[in-house]
Structure 1
Amino acid sequence: MTHLLGRQACLDSLRKDVTDLQGTILDVMSRAGPARFPSWKFPDKVSCDLDLVTLLEHYDFVEGDEEFSQHSHIALLELVVDR
């Protein structure tokens, strides 16, 4: 499975997963109010206050930079867990 680490298709899928999860969270929050708990990935921040647009822009596939793309892959997996 390590051959998939950092591949553009995997990153695109993870970005979609994070976006879908965030949409579901926003739907629940609109009915029940925000759950003010520390973020798993960023423990110094409250999970509902994370700027996911900025995070998704930062953690993206970069053509020719395999190491950063692999780092982005792991970071996006961590955001799925965090959500």
Structure 2
Amino acid sequence: MVADNQFKGWFQQVTGYAPFPFQARFACGEALPQLVPVPTGLGKTAMAVLAWLWRRRERDDFDSPHLRMRLEDDAGI
């Protein structure tokens, strides 16, 4: 809960907006979801980038080669 509140404050400071619940779950949850079924324009890009930065900053154990590979594949690298 503390990490969740800290993320919400940090997200608002960075973007000027409070995060949607799905963004906070992505940043603070134990596991990454396989799919985020959210309509276009509601913050999936902010979720992916800012939640990834948050997890990298707050969790020493979050060095996921799977996530790195998936982001590279999706970018066409």
Q: State the TM-score, normalizing by the size of structure 1.
A: 0.31
Name the structure, 1 or 2, with higher relative contact order (CA <8 Å, separation 6+): 1
CA radius of gyration, larger in: 1
Q: State the TM-score, normalizing by the size of structure 2.
A: 0.33
